[in-house]
Chain A
Amino acid sequence: MKEENRFYERLAEKGISRRDFMKYCGVVTATMGLSSSFVPKVAEVFAAPKQRPPVVWLHFAECTGCTEGAIKSMYPWIDELVLEILDIEYHETIMAPSGRAAEDVLHRAVKKYNGKFICVVEGAVGTKYNGAYGKIAGRTFLQIARDVCPKALAVICLGTCSSYGGIQAAKPNQGGYKGVGDALGIKTVNIPGCPPNPINFVGTVVNFLLLGKLPALDELGRPLFAYGKSIHDQCPRRSHYENGEMVIEFGSKEAAMGYCLYQVGCKGPDTYNNCPTAKYNGGTNFPIQAGHPCIGCSEPNFWDTMTPFFRERG
């Protein structure tokens, strides 16, 4: 309790009232689909961890867009995630050391927290030629994944690439790229998306800290609280679909009226994600609201199965 009071004092110094704080705990709780009675418990998770849970964050074949997405977290802010909530032991983009000094940190963290750390993976793993197409410090992604992932308490695949292979695995897939679960034959929690909404990642981590277990997953390893419903079923333009009110061409009167984007290629009916309700960048927007068809970026193999992203007129 003393810890908690000190936490609220710290928040107050930063100009964040207890009320604001409870509000954003409420946002996280709602995203996770927990009842509002969980709000104070979520606050506890953010307020006073005795030891911050260690995280080893691996980068394989990827564009770092998932990290770029994650640092846009506003509930809680990214500096709070880094300084007060999580212990990000290893993360190539944000860590200060380089070279041997960075490599030492990885080996030390995996040894020290063996069986106790959360492993977050961004990027696909090459499997052809024994994984030779991607190496860090002389080890292939495949070797690193085989070494680190089994020692983790849980493996969270952040983004479509680590979840299912992503663009690297698209035809002709010259490096034999796969998602981590597939490449290693292990069970992973998958937070797909290109990139995923950081709130789905935070929600998964909070679930873990709060309930001591991972959230309920679907058969593709995705947390049901975020990926349980199709975009189509939550779409604000759904009534236009039901009424057959369709956009046939961008820039048209129908586009200006906000009609359904199905005819120009929207993949909302085949895509499971909470984009229409959670929205991106602090609840500002999501593709369909911006008049752009959903491209199905959180589904496995979407580069092959969801293309062409746009459907041509006629």
Chain B
Amino acid sequence: MEDAVGVKIPDNARIIRNLLHGAQFQQDHIVHFYCLHALDWVDVVSALKADPKKTATLSDNVSNDSHGGVPYFKQVQQRIKTFVDSGQLGPFANGYWGSPAYKLPPEANLMAVAHYIEALRLQAKSMKMHAIFGAKNPHLQTLAVGGVTCVRDLTPDRIAQFLFLWKQTQDFVKNVYIPDLLAIASFYKEWGGIGGTKNFLAWGEMPLSDKEPDSLFLPRGVIMKRDLKGVKMADPEKITEHIARSWYKGKKARHPYQGVTDPYEGDPKYDAETRYSWLKAPRYEGEPCEVGPLARVLVAYARGSKEIQGLVNNALKTLNIPVSALFSTLGRTAARGLETVAIGDAMEGWVMELVGNLKNGNAKTYTPWKMPRSGKGCGLNDVPRGSLGHWIEIEEGKIDNYQYVVPSTWNLGPRCANGKRGPIEEALIDTPLQDPKRPVEILRTIHSFDPCIACGVHVIDPESNRVYEVKVL
């Protein structure tokens, strides 16, 4: 909208949007790692067998968590035991527990379960950051075309509360999330060679001035065929969305400005040879691209971001794995944690920039604008799950066409008109399975993309040719 009506938002609005976005990344990535992905690597049931003393020692060795010690881990273990003994296993019932694919010792499992519970509380608390300037979470309400509306929340007590919550959250990221990530990864290093894709796209995010894309904290770029040195500026004109294999009328691939969303009318039949998905298949110069934390980190790494290069090189060194291991499920999950550190660290400076503006008497949060009779514009962002683009066309003062191309269609879209596989389909090929009936390995790769959707995967056993169907949520 702002591109279409030609309004530039004030500096304070840019900073507040960055802060809200930064807090979103912190919360989203913590929730993803602990609540949506950890149980693919961590065996909850095995945590019952852990020795709390050894767990406390392990925790002291790997992390700087302010929680810890023998009584703490005893209490967590007792809590799980009481829960399990009740016979009501709730969300943990029927997991693939005990599968040989789980490799952590009981003590590491107990430590991770303790942090799973801590993460649940922290994410709830951290989203007070959103409420302070954005009214509530989720679905904040402070954004208006032209800026933000929260002018009365720019007070010292609100800003101080924001900083306090930011610090608590970032402490957790650095002292718990990252140590857990590296500790768990060290048991699963072979996943540095599984689940990779080839092409990566990032629109980039968090402009540090009104110059976009030049000032983006997470830079914009595209990498084809894993060629980091060949990183290029990404151009939104080079995008098309394919529908040849999707349940929409017609077959023509279109740029979002010409995009049409005209669904099949009736009961759509699932047919892997023709159409089989409600998702469209976005392509960049005709090629599928992975989007999300790994794409952002690779683009930033390739384009020389000091923060990202330092974090990545450090993690690679700690795990003793090469740069090529980034193109994998492990790389994707690690990239999510590392960018959380970088973004979180930058947030403090942004708060101080806001404070500086207010000190100098600049409390401007909104630029007035006028609705044109016609116009068009696009907004390119990177959100926690990946690259997001919105395209709008205005005619007669009303929306004539509105299309968005979202992270999960990039990653999980079906094949295109030319039969090319999407990133997640590509990533799953050659995934080793210890037990096809309990395919936790499939969940690892799919969950590593954090797809915003439920999906189905067919697993074929090459020896028996037996087909298993796995639903992933």
Contact = CB atoms under 8 A, between A and B. Distances in A.
Interface of A: 10, 13-14, 51-52, 54, 64-65, 68-69, 71-74, 77-79, 82-84, 86-89, 91-105, 129-130, 132-133, 136-137, 174, 194-195, 249-251, 255-256, 258, 279-282, 284-287, 289-292, 295, 297, 310, 312-313
A72 B139 contact: no
A250 B144 contact: yes
Instruction: Name which of A64, A77, A99 has the most chain B CB atoms within 10 A of its CB.
Output: A99
Task: Give the top 10 A-B pairs by smallest Cβ distance, nearest first.
Answer: A251-B366, A280-B136, A96-B95, A291-B149, A284-B131, A132-B267, A290-B135, A281-B131, A99-B471, A292-B141
In this complex, the interface size class of chain B, counting residues with CB under 8 Å from chain A, is 35 or more
B472 A98 contact: yes
A258 B363 CA distance: 15
A84 B469 CA distance: 34
Contacts of A98: 443, 470-473
A258 B152 contact: yes
Contacts of B96: 96-97, 101
A96 B92 contact: yes
Interface string B115-153: 001001101110110111111111101101011011111
Contact of A287 (B136, B267, B471): B136
A280 B131 contact: yes
B136 A71 contact: no
B135 A286 contact: yes
B363 A256 contact: yes
A105 B136 contact: no
Given A73-B124, A174-B263, A256-B363, A285 B138 contact: no
Contacts of A91: 91
Nearest to A65: B138
Contact of B471 (A64, A100, A133, A290): A100
Contacts of B86: 51-52
B424 to A, nearest CB: 14
Contacts of B452: 64
B203 to A, nearest CB: 21
Contacts of B95: 96-97, 101
Given A96-B39, A104-B94, 6 more contacts: A13-B75, A71-B31, A72-B137, A102-B471, A292-B141, A295-B141
Nearest to A73: B124
B273 interface: no
Given A71-B120, A249-B368, A256-B363, A129 B267 contact: yes
Contacts of A14: 75
A281 B83 contact: no
A121 to B, nearest CB: 16
B76 to A, nearest CB: 10
Contacts of B472: 98-99
21 contacts: A65-B138, A72-B124, A82-B120, A88-B90, A98-B471, A99-B439, A100-B469, A102-B473, A136-B454, A195-B139, A281-B124, A281-B127, A281-B137, A282-B124, A285-B153, A287-B136, A289-B135, A289-B153, A291-B150, A291-B152, A310-B144
A92 B142 contact: no
B219 to A, nearest CB: 29
A309 to B, nearest CB: 9
Interface string B8-42: 00000000000000000000000100011001000
Contacts of B144: 250, 292, 310
Given A72-B127, A129-B267, A291-B150, A52 B88 contact: yes
B133 A290 contact: yes
Contact of B124 (A78, A251, A291): A78
A92 B473 CA distance: 6
A8 B146 CA distance: 51
Contact of B139 (A10, A88, A194, A279): A194
Contacts, number: 197
Nearest to B79: A83
Nearest to B269: A132
B132 to A, nearest CB: 6
B138 A195 contact: yes
Contact of A291 (B36, B39, B142): B142
A290 B124 contact: no
B335 interface: no
Contacts of B75: 10, 13-14
A69 B267 contact: no
Given A82-B90, A291-B151, A96 B121 contact: no
Nearest to B38: A96
Interface string B26-61: 000001000110010000100000000000000000
Given A98-B471, A100-B471, A250 B366 contact: yes
A15 to B, nearest CB: 9
Nearest to B142: A290
B19 to A, nearest CB: 14
A108 to B, nearest CB: 8
Given A98-B471, A99-B470, A174-B263, A290 B141 contact: yes
B447 to A, nearest CB: 9
Interface in B148-207: 149-153
Contacts of B93: 89, 95-97, 105
A148 B134 CA distance: 37
A173 to B, nearest CB: 12
A284 B132 contact: yes
Nearest to B469: A99
A284 B39 CA distance: 32
A312 B371 contact: yes
Contacts of B131: 279-282, 284-285
B268 interface: yes
Interface string B350-369: 00000000000001111110
B462 interface: no
Contacts of A291: 142, 149-153
